[in-house]
Structure 1
Amino acid sequence: MTTTTAPRLGTALARLLVLAAALLGTLLAGAAPASAHAALTGSDPKDGAVVAAAPEEVGLTFSEQVAMSPDSIRVLDPSGRRADTGEIINMCSGALVKYGVALRAGLPDGTYTVAWQTVSADSHPIAGAFTFSIGAPSATSVSLPDQAPGGGIVGALYGIARYLSYAGFAVLVGGGAFVLLCWPRGAGVRPVQQTVVRGWLTLTGATLVMLLLRGPYTGSGKLADVFDLGVLQTVLQTKTGAALTSRLLLLGAAALFVAVLFGAYARRTDPKERKDLAFGLGLGGTVVAAGIAGTWALAEHASTGIQPGIAMPVDILHLLAVAAWLGGLTTLLVALYRTPSVERAAVERFSRVAFASVTVLVATGLYQSWRQVGSWSALTDTRYGQLLLVKIGLMAVLVGIAWTSRRWTLYLTERTPRAASGTAPETDAEKGVEKGAQADPEAEAAEEELEEQALQETLEEVIAEETDPERAAQLARQRTVMAAARRKKDRDADPERTGLRRSVLTEAAVAVVLLAVTTVLTSTEPGRTEEEAARTGTTTAGPAAVPDRPVDIRLPFDTGGVDGKGVVQLTLDPGRTGANALHLYVERPNGKPLDVPELKVNLTLEEKGVGPLPVAPDRIQTGHWSASGVQLPLPGEWRIQITVRTSEIDQTTVEKNVRIG
C-alpha cells in the first residue's frame, strides 16, 4: 500500500492553536500560586503574643491533615539564626491536626519569627509566617522570601505540565473510545493513530515532568533541585509521588492497549473476531482509563474534605466523561481535516456518546460544585467560585456549538473515499442515490476525474521509464502533489461536511479554553475551605458575625494612581474585646505583596458612640504591617476603616462592618 503525506490543517486551525496557547499562558501566569485545602487555624504562642518565658515548643494547628518534613517549621531569633532543634513533634489527636517544633534552651528576650511550609492533603503547597515575643518585642532582621510556595518558574512549569497531562489523558482515552464506539474503520487511519499515540506521549511526558518538579514545587522552588535524587526519593514516599508513579505504570498498560487497537484490531477482517477483540479492548481500556483517572482523584481535592468516599468515584466518572467528549471531539476534528471521508454514522454515534458524556458531566459537576463551593456567596466571592462560573459558561457555549454540529450531521452527505490507485468514484446506481438534475454536473466531474486519472497514469509510466534519478524524483513529487490536491478536492466537495468541520473546529477551540480553566481550578483553594478559613465573607455588605474568633477580612482598593489597585487583608486576633494583635497584608491584583508608603486604620462602634479609634501599624516587611495591643473596649458591630496611600497624592479608604464579642 502506498502511503502519502496527509494535508496539513488549515490556517484557521493554526491560528486557533496559537490563540489557545496564548490564553493558556495568560491563565497560568495570572493564577495565584496554589493556595491550599488546609489552612492554619491556630498557633501556640499566638501571632503577636508576648510571653514572659521562652516556651518549650511552638505548635501549629491546621484545619486538615498536612505532610510535615524536618524543615517544615523554622523558628528564627531576632538576628535570623535558628532557635529550634529541628525536631518535629506530632501533637495530633483525633480530629485535632497539630504539629510543633522544639525550641533550644536559654533563648534571650526579643521577637521571634515562625516560618512554616508544608503540603496539604490535596497535594498543594502552603506556607506562612508569624511572630511572637519573649519578654518584650524587639527589632528583627529576619527577611522572608516574597515568593509564595508553588510560584516562580517551577510553579509555571508545573502548571503547564498539569495542563498537558489533562489534555493528553483526554486525547488518549477519548481517541480510543471514539475508534471503538464510533468509527472502527478509524483504527487503520494513520492521522487517527498519530493523534492517540501523541496523547499517550503527552500524558507520559507530562507525568514524568511533574514527578521531577514535585520536589522543588513543594519545597525550595529552585529548578536545580530537579536533579537532586534525594529530593526525588522523598517525593516518591508521598501520596502525590505514589499517584504519579502509579500513573506511569498504568500508562505502560495503556501502551499495550494502543498497540493492539492499531495493530491486531485494525487488521482483523472477520466480523466475529473483530467484535470479540473490540469487547476485550473496551473492557480492558475502561479499567485502565479509570485507573489513570483515579491517580488524580486519590491525590487532589476529591481525596480530602467532606465525603471523600463518594467524591473520589464521582471525580473518576467526571474525568472519564470529559475525556470521552473532548478527546473524541479532537479525534473527530483530525479525521474531518486529514482524512477524505468520515461516515455520517460515525458522527451520529459520536453525537450520542457526547450527549451521554454531557449528562454525566452535569450530574457529577453539580455534586462537585456543592462539595467544593458550599454556599451561594462562595460562588461569587471566592476565586474558586468565580472560576467555576467561567467553566459553567464555557460548558454552556460548548453544548450550544455541539448542537450546531449535530444539525450539520443531519445534512451530512455520505462520501466514499477514492482508492489510492485513483479509480473513478462510484456511480449513482452503485450509491443508490437519486441525482435528478445533478446528472450533468456529475458527468462533468466524472470526465474531469478521468482526465486526472489519465494524467496520473501517464506520470507513473514516465517515472517508470525515466533513467535520470533527479528527474524521476521531481516527477514523483509532482504526482504526490496532484494526489494531495485531489484528496483535498474530494474532502471539500461536500458543503455540509465543510460546515461540520468549522463547527467542530469552533467546539475544539472552546474545549481548549475550558481545559485551561479546569486546570487552574484544580490548583485553587475550594470556596468552602476559603470561606471557613477566612471566617468572614469578602464583601463590604453586612456584618460578619463570628464571635471570639480572629477577624479576617479582604477588601479591594483603587487609589486611582499608578500601581494603585490591590487587595488589603486585615487580621484581628483573637477578635474579641480587650487587647488584639492587628496584621495588615497588602497585595497586588496578582497576589504578590505590594509596598505602600502608609496604612492607617480606624475602629468605630457607632451604636455605643465609641471612636473612631486610630491605629498606626508598623511596617514589618514588604506588604506586611502590624500593630500589637489594639484595644476594643466593648462588644458590638465595629466599623473597620482602612486608609491606603500608594503615593504622595493617591489614597483611598475602604471599610467593612464586623461583629466582635
Structure 2
Amino acid sequence: MSQTIAPRVRTLLLLLLAVTGALLAGSAPVSAHAALTASDPQQGSVVKEAPAQVSLTFSEGVAMSDGSVRVLDPKGKRVDTGKTSEQGTNTYSVKLHSGLPDGTFTVTYQVVSADSHPVSGAFTFSIGAPSTTSVSVSDQEAGGGVVGWLYGFARYLSYAGFILLVGGAAFVLACWQRGTGERSVQRLVVSGWLALTGATLAMLLLRGSYTGSGKVGDIFDLTLLSDVLQTKTGAALVSRLLLLAAGALFIAVLFGAYEKREDDEEKGDLTFGLAIGGFVVAAGLAATWAMAEHASTGIQTGISMPVDVLHLLAVAVWLGGLSTLLVALYRAPSIEPAVVRRFSRIAFGSVAVLAATGIYQSWRQLGSWSAFTGTSYGQLLLVKIGLVVVLVGIAWISRRWTARLSQAPAAKAVKTSAATPVKATAKTSAKASAKASAKTSAKASAKTSAATSEEEDRESEDEKEPAAAPAGSGDGKRATQLARQRAAVATARDKRLRDADPLRSGLRRSVLAEAGVAVVLLAVTTVLTSTEPGRTVEEAEAATAATSQEATGALAVDIPFDTGGKDGKGLARVEIDPARVGGNDMHVYVQRPNGKAFDIPEVKVSFTLKAKDIGPLPVVPDRIATGHWTASGVQIPMAGNWAIAVTVRTSDIDQVTVDKNAQIG
C-alpha cells in the first residue's frame, strides 16, 4: 500500500514546492495596501528655499518609527533629525537641519501598512536648482530577498496547516466518526497543527527583519521581536499560538477519549461538545488573519472581517475535508459510501459560501471592472477564479463517482471495501500456530509442503499464507513473526480487493486531481493576500494625479514600456510644468513594475501635433538621479492634443519607443 501511494504523495509535494517557489520567488516584492499619494515638497519639484520639514501622505494609516523616513543631500549625507511625527490624517513628517545647500535631495521611506505589509519607496526634490547626486537607491524592495521568501513560505504553510487541522477535524466529526481510530487520519490532523504552529513561530521571528532591514542576521534579534509583539500583527500571531494550545487539547480529546467511547449517548454528548469547542477555536484562528490583513482595512471593515472568517472556514472545510477523504481512500481499510455522500453535501455548501463571500471580497478589493486586468491583484484574482472553476468541475466528476458508489450492490460493496482487521489477525495467529505445532512432524510437514505448493500456484509470493511454527517449538518470537506475516498478507489481500473496485479507483483519481489543483490554488491565494488590492491602486493613482494637478497645474502622463529583453519592463512617467504654450520644465521618471526607480542608460522624448503636422520635436533630458531625468525650456509652440513619444533603452541592444496623447495648452 505504501509503495502505491508514495509516488502520488511525492508528486503532490513536488508540485507544492514548485508552484510555491515560482509564485513567491517569481513574483514582485510585496506591493502593499498603503501607497504614497502626496508629499511636501512634491516629487521632482524645485523649491527656492530649504523646507523646515518633509511631509508624506499615504492612502491609509501606516506604522512609522524613528528612522522610517530619511532625507539625503546630493553627497548622500543624512540631513533629517530622525524623529518622525504625525501631522494629520495619514500624513507624517520629519524635521530637517537648517542651512541646507542647493541641489537635489533624496527622500527614502519604509513603513508598515495597516494590513501588515511593508511599504518602501524614494523620490527626489531640489533646492534652488537640480543637481547631480551620488545617492543610489537600492533595487531591494521591503519584504523581498531571502527573508521575504521565507516569510512568504511560512504564510503558505500557515494556511495549509489551518486547512488540514480544521478541515480534517470537521470531516471526522461531521462525516466519519469511525475515522478517529485511523492512524493515517490522526497523522494528517496532527501534521496540520504542527505546520500551523511552526509557521506561526517562524513568522514571529521573521517579522522584524521582514518589515525592517531584510537581513537574515536580524531574524533572532530579540529587540526586533519585542517591537513586533507590540504591533497588531504580533498580537494576532501570539493570539494564534494561544488558540493552538486549545487546539492541541481538542486533538487529544478527539483522538483519545472520544475514540474510546462506546456508549452511544455519551459519544453523542461528546460530539456536540467537541463540535462547539472546535468551531470556537477554528473561528478564532481564522479571525487572527481577518483582524490583521486586508479585511481589517479599507471600506466596510465591520462586515469584511466576519465575511473573511466565513471564507477561511469554508475553504478549510472543503479543502481540508478533501485531503482527509484522499488519505482515507488510499490508506483506510474501508470507507462507507454514506461518508462520501455526506461530505459531498457539506462540500457543496462550502462552495456556496465561498462563492458568496468571494464575490463580496472581490467587489471590495477591486472596486471597478478595469481593475481586473489593469492591476496585479485583479490578474491574480482571475487566475484564482479560473482554478476554482476547474476545481468545481473536478468535484462534479467526483460527485458522479460518489453516486455510482452509493448505487453499487451491497454484496459487491462488502466484497470490495470490507477489510480484515489487523488486530484480529494478530490475536488469532498465535492460537493457529499453537494448534499447528501439535501435529506430528512427518505428517504435518508433508501436508504443509503440499499446501504451500498449492498456495504458490494460486497467489504471488508476497501474499502467501505463512507456514505454522514447527512442532514442539514453543517459540514466542516465531509466533509473533507469524502474526505479523499473516497481518501483512491480510493487508495486501484487502488492498488488492480495494484496487480492483473500479468505482473506488475512479473516485480516488478524481479526488487526487482535486487535491493537485487545490495545492496550486492555495499558493495563488497566498500571493494574492500579499498583493496591493486593485481599489487601493486606482485610488492612490487618482489621488496622486489630483494632488499634482491642484498644486502646480502640471501634466503627468504614465506610459508603460517593454523593451523585450531581460528586465525590460517598466513605466515612464512624463511630467510637464506648467503644460502650456511656451517654455516648460519636463521631468521623466523611469520605474520598475514594483514602483522602484529604474536605472537605465538613456531616455529620449519627442512631441508631435499630428493635427497641424508639427513635429516630432525632440528633447534629450539630462539624468540627475537614479531613474530621474529632466529638461528645462521645453517649447510647446501651439495648444493641442500632442503625442508624447518616449524612447527607453535598457541595454546596449534593448530599446523601445512608446507614446501617449495628452492635451497641452
The interval holding the TM-score normalised by the smaller chain is 0.7 to 0.9
Distance in 1, Cα, partners of 2:133 & 2:395: 61
- Equivalent residue for 1:65, pick from 61, 64, 69: 61
Distance in 2, Cα, partners of 1:636 & 1:41: 29
- Equivalent residue for 1:268, pick from 231, 238, 261: 261
Structure 1, 130-139 or 507-516: larger mean CA deviation:
130-139
Distance in 2, Cα, partners of 1:331 & 1:641: 58
Written as runs of structure 1 = structure 2, the 5 A alignment for 1:493-642 is: 493-535=500-542, 548=553, 551=556, 553-559=558-564, 562-563=565-566, 565-572=568-575, 577=580, 579=584, 582-587=587-592, 595-606=599-610, 611-620=615-624, 624-627=627-630, 629=632, 637-642=641-646
Structure 1, 274-283 or 500-509: larger mean CA deviation:
274-283
- Equivalent residue for 2:422, pick from 420, 432, 441: 420
Structure 1 residue 629 displacement after superposition: 4.5
Written as runs of structure 1 = structure 2, the 5 A alignment for 1:319-334 is: 319-334=312-327
Written as runs of structure 1 = structure 2, the 5 A alignment for 1:207-226 is: 207-226=200-219
Query: Is 1:455 paired with 2:495?
Result: no
Distance in 1, Cα, partners of 2:66 & 2:20: 36
> 1:546 touches 1:659 (CA, 8 Å); kept in 2?
no
List alignment gaps of at least 5 residues for structure 1: 425-443, 538-544
SS at match of 1:567: strand
Written as runs of structure 1 = structure 2, the 5 A alignment for 1:25-174 is: 25-92=21-88, 96-174=89-167
Match of 1:206 in 2: 199
For 1:466-522, what per-residue CA distance to the aligned partner results, in whole angstroms no more than 9, with x for missing partners? 7597x8887676556434423422331321111111110000000000001101100
Structure 1 residue 256 displacement after superposition: 1.1
> 1:535 touches 1:551 (CA, 8 Å); kept in 2?
no
Amino acid at match of 2:28: A
Distance in 2, Cα, partners of 1:472 & 1:160: 49
TM-score of the superposed pair, with normalisation by structure 1: 0.87
Structure 1 residue 452 displacement after superposition: 10
Match of 2:442 in 1: none
> 1:422 touches 1:453 (CA, 8 Å); kept in 2?
no
Query: Is 1:411 paired with 2:404?
Result: yes
Query: Is 1:17 paired with 2:24?
Result: no
Match of 1:438 in 2: none
> 1:8 touches 1:338 (CA, 8 Å); kept in 2?
no
> 1:179 touches 1:187 (CA, 8 Å); kept in 2?
yes
Distance 1:251 1:580, change over 3 A: farther
> 2:420 touches 2:490 (CA, 8 Å); kept in 1?
no
> 1:174 touches 1:326 (CA, 8 Å); kept in 2?
yes
Distance in 2, Cα, partners of 1:194 & 1:575: 68
TM-score of the superposed pair, with normalisation by structure 2: 0.86
Distance 1:648 1:129, change over 3 A: closer
Match of 2:441 in 1: none
> 2:605 touches 2:618 (CA, 8 Å); kept in 1?
yes
Structure 1 residue 555 displacement after superposition: 1.2
Distance 1:235 1:50, change over 3 A: same
Structure 1, 613-622 or 127-136: larger mean CA deviation:
613-622
Distance in 1, Cα, partners of 2:577 & 2:253: 64
Structure 1 residue 399 displacement after superposition: 0.5
Distance in 2, Cα, partners of 1:452 & 1:405: 33
Structure 1 residue 366 displacement after superposition: 0.4
Written as runs of structure 1 = structure 2, the 5 A alignment for 1:253-402 is: 253-402=246-395
Structure 1 residue 121 displacement after superposition: 0.8
Distance in 1, Cα, partners of 2:348 & 2:195: 27
Match of 1:433 in 2: none
For 1:287-318, what per-residue CA distance to the aligned partner results, in whole angstroms no more than 9, with x for missing partners? 11111111111111111111111111111110
> 2:71 touches 2:107 (CA, 8 Å); kept in 1?
yes
Distance 1:584 1:464, change over 3 A: farther
> 2:111 touches 2:119 (CA, 8 Å); kept in 1?
yes
Distance in 1, Cα, partners of 2:349 & 2:598: 48
Structure 1 residue 265 displacement after superposition: 1.1
Distance in 1, Cα, partners of 2:597 & 2:485: 62
SS at match of 1:159: helix
Distance 1:591 1:196, change over 3 A: farther
Larger-gyration structure (1/2): 2
For 1:233-270, what per-residue CA distance to the aligned partner results, in whole angstroms no more than 9, with x for missing partners? 11111111111111111111111111111111111111
Amino acid at match of 2:318: W
> 1:536 touches 1:553 (CA, 8 Å); kept in 2?
no
> 1:536 touches 1:552 (CA, 8 Å); kept in 2?
no
> 2:463 touches 2:489 (CA, 8 Å); kept in 1?
no
Structure 1 residue 111 displacement after superposition: 1.8
Structure 1 residue 573 displacement after superposition: 7.0
List alignment gaps of at least 5 residues for structure 2: 427-453
Distance 1:252 1:573, change over 3 A: farther
Match of 2:437 in 1: none
Distance in 2, Cα, partners of 1:391 & 1:575: 44
For 1:500-549, what per-residue CA distance to the aligned partner results, in whole angstroms no more than 9, with x for missing partners? 11110000000000001101100111111112223399xxxxxxx98857
SS at match of 1:455: coil
> 2:465 touches 2:489 (CA, 8 Å); kept in 1?
no
- Equivalent residue for 1:654, pick from 648, 654, 658: 658
For 1:424-461, what per-residue CA distance to the aligned partner results, in whole angstroms no more than 9, with x for missing partners? 9xxxxxxxxxxxxxxxxxxx99x989x999935x45x4
Match of 1:435 in 2: none
Distance 1:40 1:476, change over 3 A: same
Match of 1:540 in 2: none
Distance in 2, Cα, partners of 1:249 & 1:138: 56
> 1:13 touches 1:505 (CA, 8 Å); kept in 2?
no
SS at match of 1:90: strand
Distance 1:78 1:181, change over 3 A: same
Distance 1:70 1:579, change over 3 A: farther
Distance in 2, Cα, partners of 1:520 & 1:421: 46
Structure 1 residue 644 displacement after superposition: 1.9
Structure 1, 200-209 or 472-481: larger mean CA deviation:
472-481
Distance in 1, Cα, partners of 2:594 & 2:41: 31
> 2:31 touches 2:594 (CA, 8 Å); kept in 1?
no
For 1:191-226, what per-residue CA distance to the aligned partner results, in whole angstroms no more than 9, with x for missing partners? 001100000000010111111111111110001111
